[in-house]
Structures are given as C-alpha cells and as structure tokens.
Structure 1
C-alpha cells in the first residue's frame, strides 16, 4: 500500500521542472534500470513497488539524453512526499568520495589503517537477532560457541581489538582522514607508486552513528553555523590531544572492500549496487525508499554552481544518518573540491517523487 505521505501533483506544479537539466538523472536512472529488469530491487515501506518501474527501465536502455525530459514525463507522474512530522520540510546534506594519499605497508608516516570486515562479523535480521541485541543492529559478533552479541565499537577497535588479524587494506597518515572516510563510506587512495585504489563500504559494527559536529555544538565548542566539515576539521587540528576521545564517541565503525577506479567521472558502487553519478545520485533511508526512484528536489536556498538546487535525482545509496522519508544526502563527487562543497550542504527542500504512472493512479487524490 502506498504511503499517505504521498499526494498527487502534475509536472505543471513543479515550477522549476521545465528549466532543469535532466540528462544526468537519465544516465543515473539507466544504471538502476538493469537492477529493475533483473528483479534485484527490494521495495521500501513507502509502498513503491519495483515491478512498476519495468516499462521505464526497458525504455531507458535506448532513451536519448536529448529527450531526457520527455522520457520522465512519458513514464512517470509526480507525487509530493511530505515529511513524517507535519508542518516540517525535507532536509538535505551532501557527501563525497575523499581522495587521500595512502600506503599498503605501514611506516612512520602511514600508521592509521582502513580495515576489511573481520571473520567474526555477521549480518543479523529479525529472525537471527539474539534477545537483548537492539533492533537497530544489522551486524553482530559471532563467538566461538556460535552465540551472537554486540561487536566491539570504534574505541575498542582503535585500541587494538583487530590487531594482528591482517585485515588492513591500506594505511593513512591521519586519523581524521580515516574517520571522515568512514563518514563518507568510500575513498580513492593514491599510492606512492602511482596506482589508485578505491575502497568502498563493506560492513559496519552496527552501533548507531553519532555526529561529532552535533557534540561540538551541544558542548559549546562550535556554533551551528561553524559545524560544517571545514569547521570540524579546523577544531580537530587545533585540539590534537582531544581528537581520539571525540572520534571514539561515534561508536559506529565501518569496514571496507577494495575496488578499482574504472570510470573517473563516476563515484563508487553504492548500496543500490550501481556507481554513483555526481549531482544526480542521492542517499535515502533504505527502509522507506525503493532504490532507483527518481526524486525531484527543490531547495532554492541551496546554491550550487551559482544556481538554486532544483534537480532530478535518483535514489541509489543510503547512510546511517539518513533517516525519514523527506531526507537525502546528495552525492557531490570525488576529491577535495567536492568535499568542500558537500560540507556546506545543510538545507531544507521539497521532495517530489516521480512514480510510474500505474502507481500514481492509485493515489486517487
């Protein structure tokens, strides 16, 4: 059943629709189309059925970028998505793929590892989750006797819990860089021999995510306006003796897998199992949304590229802090410039989902 948070709209209701460039969104949707056609997309609890996307997915294979707007208007109809809290608006943040120097062997400079998943880390669900393990956890530690319990958190891992297991993928020269790669979920690593390695999310301990920027604001170290990525990094650089204790307050810890950088223009393969498209892919709450859904975001107070952010995006990723229906994280791109841009995105916006016509007709209002 479709969520009551959706209400009918027409393309004429979207004031910025006609003037927007939909070519990147079409390219991103085409990447998700293969997943729809393979029957490899799970529905979220908003009730948007993956099977309804099949006609659009088939047509996307041959759709021309020059007719992107016509493509979406032919196969979809808009529906406004209201936030779960009445009277509120949707909210946007940004994320990116960091690019940093790294080494495959530790030395005096490169001392801070990124890890592969350990062998005793296992996925859990409602059927396998042991009594006493919070329902939030999707991963647990499997003990030698088969029992499952909470995996050690960031502080315990950084104190040496995984030492000697050979799980290190690469080593960085900054614990802050490693931490922010955990937050972003991926990175491009520049090795000393000229090679480039990509690491992407593989698993996590399961502990809830805690935003260290929020901690710094609550404790009076930064104002809300100062607590963007640049402000947090500046604070960390000015308080080196407090870095470790602050980072460890985010108990969530991420494990990675290796991947090659196949296309410099695209981001990593993310939760929807397709490469992210800069400025066309968003992370959403995966328990609510169906990956591959086009979402038109109207956020006039967010100015990127000297224009208000009014763009069609495709839901292709998720994140621990991305919770609720009208909540999205914009994938900005890769590298330092993308990081500066992503770090200042904290803006309200309106979310209009493009529903396959057959689903849109069910709204009845």
Structure 2
C-alpha cells in the first residue's frame, strides 16, 4: 500500500479532455483507508464497470478495461490497477438518490392526458441558454410542431420526470414506452424544495419529493408558479432499444444499474470511473459504484446521486436520501500520480 499524499492545487486537470477545476485538493489513499472495502461485492462492481469501460478513449483507461476480465479476483483487479483518489473542492459532501419514474400517458391528447412530453426543437441545440421554463410553457413555442412524444396525466410527475432525466410511460392502450434525456434549454437548475424552505412553508428537514408533490397538488395555482421557479427545462427522446429488464440509459448511453450506478459531476469525476461511496446518515452505505450518469443538479467534487431503480418504491427511497459522507474516485495508477504537483512526488 502507499502512503497518503495531500495536494492542494490551484488548477487540477481531472478528465482526459482537460476540464480545469480551481482550488481543488487531492489525496491519494490506500485501500485500507476505505471504510468497509473488504466487505463489498467487488465482482458486482466489476460487471457494471465492464458495461461502459469499452467507451473510454484514453490509452490508460483502455488498458485497464482490457485487463478487467483477465484477472480472476475482482478485488485484486481494482487494487492492482487503480489508486483511490479523494477529490475535494471545499463544498460539503452531499449524497442524494434518483430513480426511473413510471407515468401514465397516451400517444394523443384526450381526457386527463393533456401534458406533453417534448422532443428537443432543432433551434435549441447549440443555442446556449434558451427560453426559460416559464417562457416555454406559456408562449406556445413548442406546440403544434409534432415535437410531442406522448401526453401524460400529471404535470407534477412530468416535472419530476425532467429532474430524473429518464422514465417509462405506461400508455392507455396497454403498451409502454421509455424516454431518455434528449437535451435541455441550457438554464441553471433551481431547487423548488429549497424555495419552499426559503418561503417558510417547510423546514429543511421536512422537504422530500413526496412532500413537494403533495403541496403542488393541494395548491394548483401557486404550485404551477412554484415549478416555474426552476428555469431548467429538459427535453426527451424515445428509447425503444432498451429491454424492459434493463435499467434506463445514462449519460454514457448504456443501461444503468440499480444501487451500482452513481451520477456525478464530470468536471471532477470521469464518466465510467469506479467510485467508492461512503454514505453516512440513516442506512449507511459502503459500496463501489460506477460513475455512469450525470444530472443538472449534480455539481461538485463530493456531490453524487445514487440510482435506486424503477417505480414508486424506488422513488420513495430515493426521495428520502439526503446524507453526508465521502466519495473516492478510482483512477488508473499513472493517471492518479500524474495529477499531483511535481513538488510533492
């Protein structure tokens, strides 16, 4: 094992593509410093890693991926070829959960099915910050253009579908379609839970997805205005090639895995990298996950979103999660050391 090394860097390049992150600190850990490491199911984590590691372009990542199936013992594979790197940016760690929602819908609008799920309009691509949620919902700029994938029966569930970024829609004819992230209006995400706290409606510890949904439904006019407090608006695409027994597509365009996939900020954590998660709070979690997804609200070196699966049960469990802890990124050995300033090597 290696000695712990602390580095405070003015600018650290984390991804192969070169995202500059200021005032970031790095610490290379030994595997003995990972709480619960020996008790995890390393083989389950390796299987998930193999689902997406073939998409790496950098030679060092490609080499690690090639070796992933050749080393019989999964724990030994991770310990031989990676180094755990604690990346911090000064912000408090925060771990939340997300899931794949299931909505009720129809191919054409009728009755209760009156809230459209839109594809991204061509003029929005590459436009930078585009129209706000309020402008998109009130101007009619999207309607009558054939951009509708489906119509659903609940505007609140549609809002949370946009937060999750993917989901299933059970159609009135008995069929089911899957939708995935198709782009956004480029506006910053604003938490409506935080807005309810700011207004004094709830205390911070009282807020959850279910609490927000119920409040909006009890207050339809004020609730619609509350949802428009979030300028961010997500568009979708129909995803028909994913089998029903597979997870939804993540940011790497591969199916994600319940309780093994984590959404991260790719400015700090390369997509596809193994991530050791030490979640504290209620129901502590110590598990090796794979960074296969992103999210508009997932910003920072110690910010992560755990995928809980599909449906209402997964949604309730994910909605309750808001805990501290620690996240440690696994990087190929040479890459980990190359990130450190020469003065401390």
What TM-score do you get using the length of structure 2 for normalisation?
A: 0.87
Does the 8 Å contact 2:35/2:286 carry over to 1? no
Q: Deviations over 1:143-163 (max 9, x none)?
A: xxxxxxx52211122122211
Which region of structure 1 is more displaced relative to structure 2, 233-242 or 315-324? 233-242
Q: Tell me which residue corresponds to 1:147.
A: none
Does the 8 Å contact 2:54/2:62 carry over to 1? no
Q: Tell me which residue corresponds to 2:293.
A: 317
Q: Deviations over 1:123-165 (max 9, x none)?
A: 1xxxxxxxxxxxxxxx44xxxxxxxxx5221112212221111
Q: Does 1:154 align with 2:154?
A: no
CA shift, 1:315, in A, is 1.0
SS of residue matched to 1:78 = strand
Question: Separation in 2 of the partners of 1:346 and 1:300?
Answer: 10
Q: Deviations over 1:196-220 (max 9, x none)?
A: 1110001111111111000000001
Does the 8 Å contact 1:200/1:259 carry over to 2? yes
Question: Separation in 1 of the partners of 2:13 and 2:187?
Answer: 31
* Aligned counterparts, 1:105-144, within 5 A: 105-123=108-126, 139-140=127-128
Which region of structure 1 is more displaced relative to structure 2, 4-13 or 319-328? 4-13
Does the 8 Å contact 1:198/1:261 carry over to 2? no
Question: Separation in 2 of the partners of 1:258 and 1:348?
Answer: 35
CA shift, 1:52, in A, is 2.0
Does the 8 Å contact 2:61/2:332 carry over to 1? yes
CA shift, 1:347, in A, is 0.6
Does the 8 Å contact 1:154/1:252 carry over to 2? yes
CA shift, 1:101, in A, is 1.3
Q: Tell me which residue corresponds to 2:191.
A: 211
Does the 8 Å contact 1:198/1:258 carry over to 2? yes
Q: Tell me which residue corresponds to 1:56.
A: 64
CA shift, 1:34, in A, is 1.2
Rate the CA distance shift 1:63–1:104 in 2: closer, same or farther, 3 A.
Answer: farther
SS of residue matched to 1:176 = helix
Does the 8 Å contact 1:266/1:278 carry over to 2? no
Q: Tell me which residue corresponds to 1:74.
A: 80
Question: Separation in 2 of the partners of 1:291 and 1:114?
Answer: 27
In proportion to residue count, which structure has more helix? Answer: 2
Instruction: Note the residue ranges of structure 1 that are not aligned, 5 or more in a row.
Output: 40-49, 124-138, 141-149
Aligned counterpart in structure 2 of residue 20 of structure 1, from 40, 43, 58: 40
SS of residue matched to 1:189 = strand
Q: Tell me which residue corresponds to 2:316.
A: 340
Instruction: Note the residue ranges of structure 2 that are not aligned, 5 or more in a row.
Output: 1-11, 15-23
Rate the CA distance shift 1:110–1:72 in 2: closer, same or farther, 3 A.
Answer: same
Does the 8 Å contact 1:302/1:309 carry over to 2? no
Question: Separation in 2 of the partners of 1:19 and 1:337?
Answer: 27
What TM-score do you get using the length of structure 1 for normalisation?
A: 0.83
SS of residue matched to 2:125 = strand
Aligned length: 320
Does the 8 Å contact 1:25/1:312 carry over to 2? yes
Q: Deviations over 1:56-79 (max 9, x none)?
A: 211224566xx3222212221222
CA shift, 1:237, in A, is 2.1
Does the 8 Å contact 2:27/2:87 carry over to 1? yes
Question: Separation in 1 of the partners of 2:186 and 2:246?
Answer: 28
Question: Separation in 2 of the partners of 1:114 and 1:249?
Answer: 19
